[in-house]
Structure 1
Amino acid sequence: MASEDVKSSESAVSKIVNFAEEAKLAREEIKPTSHAVLSICKSLVAGGVAGGVSRTAVAPLERLKILLQVQNPHNIKYSGTVQGLKYIWRTEGFRGLFKGNGTNCARIVPNSAVKFFSYEQASKGILWLYREKTGNEDAELTPLLRLGAGACAGIIAMSATYPMDMVRGRLTVQTEKSPYQYRGMFHALATVLREEGPRALYKGWLPSVIGVIPYVGLNFAVYESLKDWLVKAKPFGLVEDSELGVITRLACGAAAGTVGQTVAYPFDVMRRRMQMVGWKDAASVVTGDGRSKAPLEYTGMIDAFRKTVRHEGFKALYKGLVPNSVKVVPSIAIAFVTYEQVKDLLGVEIRISD
């Protein structure tokens, strides 16, 4: 009897030990390795550096674009790219060209980090589903699937950092003559929360999300598809091996930025204008007869489109497109190339195309 009790106890202990070992193995399989965590951190750093470098390089054009988008048609100060940059230099000096860039970088660094990382993860998930559906283990992402992965990345990154983008727009628009001054990003966030409520931080979010789908989606899709085509087709003898040069990748990024921003630009204009709603000192002007004219109020995205086209014409949807085009071409190109270069420098094995 005692022998049976001992055997029973040993069997129970053995089961407990086996269960503990199985649980340990399961935890080890689920828990990411330190190498994987380090790789993720490096990828996020690369994306953040890419965003900061690319945006600072074109900060004057970014500010001019926003000023052109939101200026009142009854009081034109900025009539073009060259004239606008000269006017800012003359009235506000060198610092005026980079006004709002600190807040912009505070937004774009995490935005870019999340965007690039989200694209990588979305690409992996979509590719796995595609291979499972087709039964082809060697299948690769198509341009349409890359568009979907880029759209997912853009929505996630935009939503995560939108309040900072909203106050950055207001900081960029204000000048020394503005009746009310935001002292910085955190002061602007606190002021908007206090005076306009939490929902004000997401004014213009809908057109932003709708616009970011073709914008970021096309950026990634065009950039990756062009690179893939150049490597495989080797047109004009441009590529002799599987590694593209910096100049070639810059050209791919420039093409991607041009296509994406042209399609999505009207939504960006609506986003900026909706962000200014509720800020009484944003664009109030004095007309030619000396009367004060308040800025238009918008009840939503459709209303913003309708009133803009009615009062200013269809061309108003593309206000600031020229400086934006001049800005986007180098900005997107620099962002993609910087991202890949920093990842190479940090020793991250996974590239965007992988």
Structure 2
Amino acid sequence: MPEESLTERLQRHKKLFDEIDTKNNGKFTLEDFERALQFTDHPLKDSHFAISQIYKSLAGQEAASDWISFDKFNQYLIQAEAQLAKGFENVDRDHDGKVTKKDVESYLFKLGLKPTPSEVDTFFRKLDFEDRGFVTFEMFRDGLLLIPRLEGSRVRTAFKFLNDEMENISSEGDVTVSDDVLKSVGYFLAGGLSGVVSRTCTAPFDRVKVFLIARTDLASTLLNNRQELQSKIQEKVHHPVPKKKIQSPLVRAAKTLYKQGGLRAFYVGNGLNVLKVFPESAMKFGSFEATKKFLCGVEGVDDVSKLSKVSTFVSGGVGGVIAQITVYPIDTLKYRIQCASLDSKEKGNKLLVKTAKDMFKEGGVRIFYRGLPLGLGGMFPYAALDLGTFSTVKKWYMKKTAEKQHCSVDDVVLPNYLVLTLGAVSGTFGATMVYPINLLRTRLQAQGTFAHPYTYDGFFDVFKQTVTREGVPGLFKGLVPNLAKVAPAVSISYLMYENLKVLFKLE
């Protein structure tokens, strides 16, 4: 690379600054910066989001500053050019001072981006603005100088902006459909179908849980299981009974369901469970990501990976709450069906329609949202603990691994077994912490049914009646089968998701 004196570099920086500071104020604002780019051939001049990200990079730690001085601008350029010089050396494989399209493609694959030939062409054309067939350092530097470095690699960020952003934003500023959007749909379908298979496979656990929650004459917590067995052993000493009579409440619940409806009894309500997978997943994770991006602006950081732990947990909570509101009526209907008599003449869709009509006659639309405040009260901490714990532990592990391997966090790949373990642990932890709230909510939704004939005036009433009849352990009825389904549910979801990504050619 040709040598440049400090004076020449300073003059070049000052010239670039003056092109932005058109008012000659010795400083410029975001509006000044955006207006100046309109008179250049900058590839992202029509993307307000991209320009705002560049401006945040220029401001550095002073992201909330209203203006940028030449000293701050010069400081950014010096740091950016040093990074670009190192990046150019990494891309220029034979170190001849010229970067070819093949060099660029090879480096993008090294970053794990897996670009298509057309994406490489688009990116290279932006760098080779003189149409030479190769890129010199000066071209590389000038083409990427005002590109934000959001993920630890300026080339990675440049590729995403110069390809994804340009392809998705039309000249009118409208978002257009691209391969990435179609890929997003593919990921959504893969995730949704994985959820359908997972919930269907683990439906019996959920069915037993609801059965135990509705019944007040059976215990299901580990504590009550032990107490009930000890009680029966004592009873056996004084009044001998056949050994087979001493059964766990879980076994008794499963036998009762099987006697009443066979294997089909374990899948009552699963159709509704499957129906809500797609909207629930879409709203949960979509809201989670949207909230994280919003909080990035609040905290003044340029990437979601830099969000504080509090914001990550809050984002998870918001995602869970919005998802809960979306599918709550389906949940209520599912519980009512599961608590209906298995001897009923109506089955399947007929039972579904009859139950929905009876509910509407009883209390209108409001009855479908019975217990919603309580549900939201439990969903926020659950989603926050689940998604927040997973994200926090994952971020901590990747940071520690990057330090040990002396590489960027972006280059760390989580092994499959660890993703599976983290998912199971975070889900189990969150579910256990908020289980009493979910139990009380379920009873509010199922009140007045065949399996749960009791009625309640609200949260305090259902809490009081539950503790009075069954004690504090009664608040955890059904916890065992609920936790028992966590590991297989996560395992099945992960297995299906990975295979569907291959099938849909998303990898």
User: TM over 0.5, yes or no?
Assistant: yes
Report the counterpart of residue 114 of structure 2 in structure 1: none
**In the comparison of the two structures, how many residue pairs are matched?**
308
The 3-state SS of whatever aligns with 1:64 is helix
Instruction: Map residues 306-321 of structure 1 onto 2, 5 A cutoff.
Output: 306-321=464-479
Q: Is the contact made by 2:401 and 2:412 (CA closer than 8 Å) also made in structure 1?
A: no
TM-superposed deviation, 1:270: 0.8
Report the counterpart of residue 34 of structure 1 in structure 2: 177
Report the counterpart of residue 255 of structure 1 in structure 2: 425
TM-superposed deviation, 1:345: 6.0
Q: Which runs of 5+ in 2 are unaligned?
A: 1-45, 47-168, 221-246
Instruction: Give the whole-Å Cα distance in 2 for the aligned partners of 1:145 and 1:337.
Output: 30
Q: 2:438 aligns with which of 268, 281, 286?
A: 268
Measured against aligned partners, the alpha-carbon deviations of 1:294-336 in whole angstroms (never above 9, x if no partner) come to x332111122112211222111110001111111233245446
The AA in structure 2 aligned to 1:92 is G
Report the counterpart of residue 336 of structure 2 in structure 1: 170
Q: Is the contact made by 2:276 and 2:330 (CA closer than 8 Å) also made in structure 1?
A: yes
TM-superposed deviation, 1:185: 3.3
Instruction: Give the whole-Å Cα distance in 2 for the aligned partners of 1:97 and 1:328.
Output: 17
Report the counterpart of residue 213 of structure 2 in structure 1: 69
TM-superposed deviation, 1:138: 8.6
TM-superposed deviation, 1:116: 1.9
Instruction: Give the whole-Å Cα distance in 2 for the aligned partners of 1:347 and 1:117.
Output: 22
Instruction: Give the whole-Å Cα distance in 2 for the aligned partners of 1:28 and 1:38.
Output: 21
Measured against aligned partners, the alpha-carbon deviations of 1:234-283 in whole angstroms (never above 9, x if no partner) come to 39x99x9611222211101010111100111011101111012244x343
Report the counterpart of residue 13 of structure 1 in structure 2: none
Q: Is the contact made by 1:246 and 1:337 (CA closer than 8 Å) also made in structure 2?
A: no
TM-superposed deviation, 1:225: 1.9
Which deviates more from structure 2 when the two are superposed, residues 152-161 or residues 325-334?
A: 325-334
Instruction: Give the whole-Å Cα distance in 1 for the aligned partners of 2:305 and 2:415.
Output: 26
Measured against aligned partners, the alpha-carbon deviations of 1:192-235 in whole angstroms (never above 9, x if no partner) come to 11233111000111111011011112111111222222222239
TM-score, normalising length: structure 2: 0.54
Instruction: Map residues 297-312 of structure 1 onto 2, 5 A cutoff.
Output: 297-312=455-470
Q: Is the contact made by 1:251 and 1:333 (CA closer than 8 Å) also made in structure 2?
A: no
Task: State yes or no: 1:102 paired with 2:287.
Answer: no
Instruction: Give the whole-Å Cα distance in 2 for the aligned partners of 1:260 and 1:33.
Output: 39
Which deviates more from structure 2 when the two are superposed, residues 156-165 or residues 136-145?
A: 136-145
Instruction: Give the whole-Å Cα distance in 1 for the aligned partners of 2:250 and 2:172.
Output: 56
Instruction: Map residues 51-200 of structure 1 onto 2, 5 A cutoff.
Output: 51-73=195-217, 80-131=249-300, 140-177=306-343, 183-200=350-367
Instruction: Give the whole-Å Cα distance in 2 for the aligned partners of 1:340 and 1:267.
Output: 33
Instruction: Give the whole-Å Cα distance in 1 for the aligned partners of 2:353 and 2:310.
Output: 39
Instruction: Give the whole-Å Cα distance in 2 for the aligned partners of 1:81 and 1:75.
Output: 8
Give the direction of change, closer, same or farther, for the CA distance of 1:75–1:212 in structure 2 (3 Å limit): closer
From the CA coordinates, give the structure whose radius of gyration is larger.
2
Give the direction of change, closer, same or farther, for the CA distance of 1:298–1:72 in structure 2 (3 Å limit): same
The AA in structure 1 aligned to 2:378 is G
Instruction: Give the whole-Å Cα distance in 2 for the aligned partners of 1:75 and 1:148.
Output: 34
Instruction: Give the whole-Å Cα distance in 1 for the aligned partners of 2:333 and 2:412.
Output: 43
Give the direction of change, closer, same or farther, for the CA distance of 1:82–1:282 in structure 2 (3 Å limit): closer
Q: Which runs of 5+ in 1 are unaligned?
A: 1-21, 284-294, 350-354
Give the direction of change, closer, same or farther, for the CA distance of 1:214–1:99 in structure 2 (3 Å limit): same
TM-score, normalising length: structure 1: 0.76
Sequence identity (%): 32
Instruction: Give the whole-Å Cα distance in 1 for the aligned partners of 2:311 and 2:440.
Output: 28
Give the direction of change, closer, same or farther, for the CA distance of 1:304–1:73 in structure 2 (3 Å limit): same
RMSD: 3.3
Instruction: Map residues 169-248 of structure 1 onto 2, 5 A cutoff.
Output: 169-177=335-343, 183-234=350-401, 242-248=412-418
